[in-house]
Amino acid sequence: MRLRIRREFARSTHTRPGVTTTPVKLKWRWWIVIAVVLLTALTDYSCRRARRERSQDKVILALALQYGVDPALIKAVIWRESRFDPEARGTSGEIGLMQVMQGTGEDWAKAEKIKFYFHRRLYDPEKNIRAGTWYLKKMLNRYRHTDNPIPYALAAYNAGPGKVDKWAKGAAATSSAAFIQQIDFPGTRGYVQSIMKRYEYYRRRFPPTAKKK
């Protein structure tokens, strides 16, 4: 009799005798809690990332005007080089937002007549963007005879102008599309292509247009 009652109870609760299961409603409650926690964390991460991405906008706009470089391009380089982390450090000694090499920083300091220069000063966001933009402008001027100097300047920023001069042969000497295909360093080619794509993204959004009242 007891065995029969136990079997009937097991059927009524959709479980086997001797097996304890979590009620379906309780399971759904846990899934809802987990989903809310994950959504909150994702939203918080997205907000923090957006704030960091906008953190240097005023500096970028001011220096873009000073050096005559598209602010969207400067921002795209910072995005690729450091993801807007002013404390970023590369494996070859490059530092800061635009990952400026020591030699580049010294050339910038000399050109700008900055006294008592030392490399760690470029952890300062404004100084780093200033040095990086100065060098970027220098490379843009170097390849201004091409149909689009930006890919050449970006490749030089990543691999050095000596490598760019090796790749810029034949049609690639003036055709930026041919030049990109001529780059035989996959890392540099990917670097140029990723910044060009991000540059187009920022050009539609930065600097932000004034809202109509």
d(CA 106, CA 200): 31
Structure tokens at 117: 């220069």
Q: How far apart, in Å, do the first and last CA atoms of the chain sit? A: 82
Catalytic residue among 8, 53, 81, 200: 81
Residue 116, sorted as left (phi over 0), alpha (psi -120 to 50) or beta, turns out to be left
Structure tokens at 11: 């059927």
User: C-alpha angle with apex 85: 42 to 43, nearest 5 degrees?
Assistant: 10
Can you tell me whether residue 89 is helix, strand or coil? Answer: strand
Location of structure tokens 């989903």: 35
In the residue annotation, 81 being an active-site residue is answered as yes
CB 129 within 8 A of CB 97: yes
Structure tokens at 152: 């050449």
Give the catalytic positions in this structure: 81
